[in-house]
Structure 1
Amino acid sequence: MAGALFIATATPLYSASTQLLIEIRQERAIGADATLTPAPIGKRMMKSEIAVIKSAALLRRVVEREKLIDDPELGAATIAATIERLKNALAVTLLRNSRVIQIAVTSMDPAKAARLADAIADAYVVDKLDARLEAARRASAWLADRLVALRRQSHNSEEALALFLAATGASARAEGMKIDPEQSASLARRVAGVRAEAAERKARLELLQRIEGRGGNAAELPGVGGAIDELRRRAAQLSRQEAELRSRYTDGHPSVVALRAQIADVDRAIATEVRRLSVGVRHAFELAEGSREAAETTLRDITATDDRGKSAAIMRGELERAAATDRKLLENMLRRARLVQEQSTFEPRVARIISAALAPSAPIWPDNAQTMLIALALGVIAGVGAAYASELADKGFTTLAQIEAKLALPLLASISEMKSHGGANGGVAPILADYLRAKPLSRAGEAFRALRSAIAMSDVDDPPKLIQLTSTVPGEGTTTIASALAASAAQSGLRTLLVDADLRHRAASRIFSAGEKPGLVDLLIGSAQPSATIFFDDKRGIWVLPAGAEIQNSSDLLASEKMKALVAALRRQFDLVVIDTPPIGPVLDPLIVAGLVDRTVLVIRWAATPREAVAHAIERLPERGKIAGAVFNLVIEAKARKYGRYAYSPYSGAGSFENYHVE
């Protein structure tokens, strides 16, 4: 019922999913051939992509674009809280043995679930494209810086050649050409400038080598600034964010993993920029050194030879070669810059949506069949547990099987509880005895006949004549059963005597209004004769021997030789003698009487008397072989039926037997 109520009242949830294919990325090497090499995709990389999808930065785009802060289901007071709710509704998984990532969103609205799944996938694709464009922008900026330097260097080479040609003029082609002092000084100043620039580039290269020698990199060079500083500030900011997240989450949390992926991207960008700077320093030194050597060679040739014409030709050749070299370097760099620009305007996709989300037609939660199965299982477990707990709490005997298993005794009869209808003594016992006499064919009458038959069958060859009825603790109805058993035997024509041997409580004597009459005590101490103590009860048709006078040492009196002689005499005079004795637990009297009778019947109150107490009482009896069996008394049939048919009586489960009883 709880499961059905839950299904009826639960709000259904729908899940929509979209699928992304992660493309194999092509890494481009900026060179003459612009080679493309595939970048491998492994599980770590795929986990990093999943972390990016779950990152707060990406989900913020979705929250802002879809205006989820005003959504009644996912909206919250702040954008951060809304992002957290969206993250809880998001599930990102990697399909096994593939490069496909599945993005699923759960919502109460199926259309909204599909819309948000597609929105998250689109945001991821756009984020990857933005990252690619940013990388291309950085490469273009680096190439632009290099082009500026190469243009300046080419311009200087062309200017040097032009100055030489202007200084020599057309006569430089002829032999014997002379250079005036002013022209020679101008060329010397040009050589000095080239030497200074070469020395500066060499000093910068040596500084870089010393930095690298102690484990540093080009980023430590003075004046680098620019992109390196920006990337460093970005790395420091991400590190602070990582420290804040690690103080709240574990290392495996999606937010921490996503932030680490961003830090790794920044570190790679810094490393690329450092390599670019290092290569630039070395290349600048090589160019400056080449220019210096060319200029010094030209100057040396001019000043070291007397053949001015030949020297001028040599210098012109050197200057022309240097200018041609610089032009070629500039042309190569321009070609590479155009290639990078083309690559930045057409980038292959790193991810694409291969399956858009569709609005689901059926909810994923609650699963009616699964919920009912779980509810049924829990109900069965709870029921069995409650039954087991109730059974553990029930310390008394309730079934025939318990009597046979725990006590190794037969159950002779089960006497149902009868409601009191009043009576002379206001008790139940005389009512039961009178009821048996008034309605001998009732269920109670049949139960006592079955009891007498079971007692007789305990010794077929020599049916017992002296029967003791006792119990474990007071209040189990021993006197009631004893008087009713005597009345039932008297109805069958047996000369029956009921002996009240409970000299402490005297319940049977009060039932028969014989509390003040002489009885068993008087007979044993010799103060009265049998004719004065044993009387006949006309109403119930039985003979009664009451307890008699008060006495302190009842155990000694019952263990006397006179008691043994009295029992022998009663055996000869009556067909059946029923002796009512006190409980075994508190006193010794029933143990003494048990040694004098033929059989002992143990009365057990149904579902009340502790099992361990009954077992201990049986162990105290002198002869276990004399125990005829046990009788259930005060059985509450309405409760007893829950233990199963025939649980407390061999005939309790047959409803058709009611036709044989006259109540």
Structure 2
Amino acid sequence: MSLTLPSVASHHPHVTPGLAEQLLSLRRRWRIILASTVLVPGLTLVGVLRTPLTYTATGIVLYDPESAAVPGDNNNVPEDAADEDAVVASQGEVIASLPAAGQIASRLDLASSPEFNPAIAHRHFPFSLLPVPKAPTPDELAEVTRRALDVQVLPGSRVLSVSFTSTSPELAANAANLAMQIYLDHERDVSFAALNDAQAWLEKHAADVQAQLDATEAELAQARASAGVVQGAQSTLTTETASRLAASLVEAQADLAMSQARLSAASGGDAAAASAAIAPNLLPLRKEQADLTAQVQSLSAQYGPDYPDLVSARTQLAAITAEIGAETGRELDAARAQVAADKAQIATLQSALAAARTQSQTEDAESGPIRAMEQRAEAGQDMLRAMTQQAGQLAQDASLTKPDARILSTAAVPTQPSAPHRGLILGAALGLGFCLGVLLAGLRDALDTSLRSGVDIRAQFGLSCFALLPENAAPKVAALQAPFSLYAEQLRSLRTGLGLNEGQCRIIAITAARPGEGKTTLTIALGRSLAAAGLRVLAVDGDIRQPSFDPVFNCAGAPGLTDHLAGLAGVDEVIRQDSLTPLQILPAGTQAKAALSLFLSPALRQSLFMLREQFEVILIDAPPAFALAEGRVLARLADSALLCIRWGHTPRRVVRAAITLLQEAGVVLAGAALTRVNVAQHEKSGFADAEVYQPRYGGYFPH
């Protein structure tokens, strides 16, 4: 069975590995991934188990300054939403302040708790080897306590969440509740202190006002005594007289106006209007006069002038007219007299009023400073009464002082730990371990420049890989002892790849990049396998300076290739027979110092030409390409060369450099073979040429 695959990669020597190849590379490093996936969660589990459980207790506080404000006092109410958020946030800073944390530490005696005092904490190995830490100072203890205290403001509200974390659930609840109570006490104390300060200021200011009022009243009393003014008088006698005179003058002027109006109406051409204005009692006479006038006119129209009724009516009309005239004259005289009297009274009142006003102005000029002092005294008394009333209100408010916040929910003792979240941590550690394993596996694969499959050889160098020879305890005889083993099958695959068939002679140089690649073992194993199959095979030890055939065939010191080339022995004299198979052996010989000159002489080419006539396959174990120039010379004289590469060991750069050296020397590289393959690892590598190692092929390769 052959493992040879079509050498399509030879046309693409620099094929970039795709996702499938990258996944296969991770599969090949599954041990690293598994170790990391198990180790990281394991170490995390140990750390988590040794980490003490912590509990978080939470209470709720509502900051509500309006409920605690004095009615009508809006000084503490923010006007803007941003200002309100800032105020609420500042309350959280007050709760979690260092002084508040110091009070919590002091009241709960946290210095005696190992959680907050590392000096008394129990320490496990190896931490027990370190020096014992010092006991924390009060400030340090307060800082540690503050780190355990957390205050969060719920967005868009005045609600504050106060939490405390501790290894003791009872301590966590007590500390959270104490933090809220300290905050409320602080707010109450601040409000009380502010009221006390305001009351003290009012009392001091009231005392100053009282002192000024006393001085003003003393000065006022002295001024009144000097001016002879009666205390408490609101106006002088002259001022009152002037007021009465002014009122009388107004009344007299009104009477004069009425009298003049009556006189003017009486003096008009309209007798009826004059009579009505002056003597209203003449109206019946005027009516009777009108009736008689109408009667006279009616009788005059009907009868003659001497008609008795007409004469009588005229007589009555004349009498009434005379009576009306007489009465009207008397009323006009009385009206004229009244107007004259009113004018005289007005003149008198005006003169008296002018004199009173002059006297009042004089008295006012003398009593002006006294009135100013009286007004100042009244203002001082009003201020003193207002301050006294406000001080009393402050005293009442102080007795009813409330904090600006209240507790909505006290912190209950937690029943479940808040940290560590073991499941979450272990899950994250598992994912981290797997990712780290993948990273390390990828890094290991990237740093591993060795070749582990024929696919790698084809992709990297464009060479066909004819065989993958498994690691074997006795590779030189493995094919003979187990002709149906995987090792023997790989040798047959190699024979097929090299085209070693009956009826034609092929000279194959087997070389490597450096020593330890397994080229000598492969030469002997392949030679014996071919000889056992019936081919005439000659194995030549071309590694003159470090002969490898000597310990295998017990030919140390025997003449060999160099002796023949030097003319010291014939071909038949230097060829030896393998004790296990028909394989013929040509040792290195004893002339190692002249090996290069002998290989460059025509004798080597002539000897190989003669050997072609005797053997069907000549295998030359050539020195490593980097070691000696003889190796490249021998490989060039062969029909083709087979490059041995140690599986998972030889770096690619070394193989590439060796191929370059051989090609520059004119060597025809037929292909390569991977030697010393670890079957167990290659079976799980995922490479296509590892398929043959799967258990399903066990029936084809019995042990």
TM over 0.5: yes
- Corresponding residue of 1:271: none
Q: Is the counterpart of residue 403 in structure 1 residue 462 in structure 2?
A: no
Aligned letter for 2:671?
G
The Cα shift of 1:120 comes to 0.7
RMSD: 3.9
Q: Is the counterpart of residue 519 in structure 1 residue 564 in structure 2?
A: no
Structure 2 gap segments, 5+ residues each = 1-41, 118-134, 238-358
8 Å CA contact 1:434–1:540 kept in 2: the answer is no
8 Å CA contact 1:172–1:309 kept in 2: the answer is no
CA 148–388 in structure 1, closer or farther in 2 if over 3 Å, else same: same
DSSP-derived class of the 2:56 partner: strand
The Cα shift of 1:130 comes to 0.8
Alignment coverage as a number of residue pairs: 518
8 Å CA contact 2:453–2:674 kept in 1: the answer is no
- Corresponding residue of 2:182: 123
Q: Is the counterpart of residue 439 in structure 1 residue 478 in structure 2?
A: no
TM-score (norm 2): 0.65
Which stretch shifts more, 395-404 or 570-579? 395-404
CA distance in 2, matches of 1:635, 1:28: 89
1:35-114 correspondence to structure 2 within 5 Å = 38-40=77-79, 41-74=83-116, 78-114=137-173
8 Å CA contact 2:455–2:687 kept in 1: the answer is no
8 Å CA contact 1:477–1:633 kept in 2: the answer is yes
- Corresponding residue of 1:626: 668
DSSP-derived class of the 2:674 partner: strand
1:619-658 correspondence to structure 2 within 5 Å = 619-622=660-663, 626-638=668-680, 640-641=682-683, 644-646=685-687, 649-658=689-698
8 Å CA contact 1:14–1:362 kept in 2: the answer is yes
8 Å CA contact 2:61–2:407 kept in 1: the answer is yes
The Cα shift of 1:85 comes to 2.0
1:197-236 correspondence to structure 2 within 5 Å = none
- Corresponding residue of 1:135: 194
CA 442–81 in structure 1, closer or farther in 2 if over 3 Å, else same: same
Which of 523, 537, 553 pairs up with 1:482?
Answer: 523
The Cα shift of 1:625 comes to 7.9
The Cα shift of 1:24 comes to 4.5
CA distance in 2, matches of 1:650, 1:148: 108
CA distance in 2, matches of 1:35, 1:9: 55
CA 7–57 in structure 1, closer or farther in 2 if over 3 Å, else same: closer
Which stretch shifts more, 373-382 or 70-79? 70-79
**Which whole-Å deviations, capped at 9, do the CAs of 1:480-528 have from their partners, x for residues lacking one?**
2111111100111111111222232232255323344443334334444
**Which whole-Å deviations, capped at 9, do the CAs of 1:293-337 have from their partners, x for residues lacking one?**
xxxxxxxxxxxx9x9999998887676555544433322222232
The Cα shift of 1:156 comes to 4.4
DSSP-derived class of the 2:549 partner: helix
The Cα shift of 1:342 comes to 3.3
- Corresponding residue of 2:514: 473
8 Å CA contact 1:606–1:633 kept in 2: the answer is yes
1:462-611 correspondence to structure 2 within 5 Å = 465-611=506-652
CA 169–478 in structure 1, closer or farther in 2 if over 3 Å, else same: closer
CA distance in 2, matches of 1:574, 1:392: 46
8 Å CA contact 1:518–1:546 kept in 2: the answer is yes
The Cα shift of 1:134 comes to 0.9
Which stretch shifts more, 307-316 or 5-14? 307-316
CA distance in 1, matches of 2:366, 2:69: 47
Q: Is the counterpart of residue 336 in structure 1 residue 390 in structure 2?
A: yes
The Cα shift of 1:172 comes to 12
DSSP-derived class of the 1:595 partner: helix
**Which whole-Å deviations, capped at 9, do the CAs of 1:169-214 have from their partners, x for residues lacking one?**
99999x99xxxxxxxxxxxxxxxxxxxxxxxxxxxxxxxxxxxxxx
Aligned letter for 1:114?
A
Aligned letter for 1:151?
Q
**Which whole-Å deviations, capped at 9, do the CAs of 1:90-128 have from their partners, x for residues lacking one?**
112222232222221111122321221121111112111
The Cα shift of 1:652 comes to 4.7
DSSP-derived class of the 2:452 partner: coil
CA distance in 2, matches of 1:324, 1:591: 130
Aligned letter for 1:537?
D
The Cα shift of 1:66 comes to 3.1
The Cα shift of 1:12 comes to 1.1
CA distance in 2, matches of 1:658, 1:98: 75
8 Å CA contact 1:15–1:113 kept in 2: the answer is yes
Aligned letter for 2:462?
A
CA distance in 2, matches of 1:578, 1:570: 11
Q: Is the counterpart of residue 455 in structure 1 residue 509 in structure 2?
A: no
Rg larger in 1 or in 2?
2
8 Å CA contact 1:147–1:334 kept in 2: the answer is yes
The Cα shift of 1:338 comes to 2.5
The Cα shift of 1:143 comes to 1.1
CA distance in 2, matches of 1:562, 1:383: 59
CA distance in 2, matches of 1:367, 1:44: 34
The Cα shift of 1:462 comes to 10
8 Å CA contact 2:70–2:397 kept in 1: the answer is no
Aligned letter for 1:11?
P
**Which whole-Å deviations, capped at 9, do the CAs of 1:207-255 have from their partners, x for residues lacking one?**
xxxxxxxxxxxxxxxxxxxxxxxxxxxxxxxxxxxxxxxxxxxxxxxxx
DSSP-derived class of the 2:620 partner: strand
- Corresponding residue of 2:267: none
8 Å CA contact 1:456–1:463 kept in 2: the answer is no
CA distance in 2, matches of 1:34, 1:383: 68
CA distance in 2, matches of 1:8, 1:50: 34
1:201-350 correspondence to structure 2 within 5 Å = 323-347=377-401, 349-350=403-404
8 Å CA contact 1:27–1:37 kept in 2: the answer is no
8 Å CA contact 2:188–2:402 kept in 1: the answer is no
Structure having greater relative contact order (Cα 8 Å, sep ≥ 6): 2
CA distance in 2, matches of 1:106, 1:617: 68
8 Å CA contact 2:636–2:667 kept in 1: the answer is no
CA 329–441 in structure 1, closer or farther in 2 if over 3 Å, else same: closer
The Cα shift of 1:348 comes to 5.5
CA distance in 1, matches of 2:377, 2:565: 152
The Cα shift of 1:451 comes to 1.6
TM-score (norm 1): 0.69
- Corresponding residue of 1:370: 424
CA distance in 2, matches of 1:126, 1:344: 14
DSSP-derived class of the 1:603 partner: strand
8 Å CA contact 1:24–1:39 kept in 2: the answer is no
Aligned letter for 1:372?
L
The Cα shift of 1:137 comes to 0.8
DSSP-derived class of the 2:115 partner: coil
CA 524–17 in structure 1, closer or farther in 2 if over 3 Å, else same: same
DSSP-derived class of the 2:693 partner: coil
The Cα shift of 1:406 comes to 2.7
8 Å CA contact 2:164–2:175 kept in 1: the answer is yes
CA distance in 1, matches of 2:232, 2:176: 79
DSSP-derived class of the 1:601 partner: strand
The Cα shift of 1:465 comes to 1.5
8 Å CA contact 2:505–2:615 kept in 1: the answer is no
1:136-155 correspondence to structure 2 within 5 Å = 136-155=195-214
Aligned letter for 1:334?
T
CA distance in 2, matches of 1:160, 1:552: 142
CA 326–591 in structure 1, closer or farther in 2 if over 3 Å, else same: closer
CA distance in 2, matches of 1:29, 1:102: 27
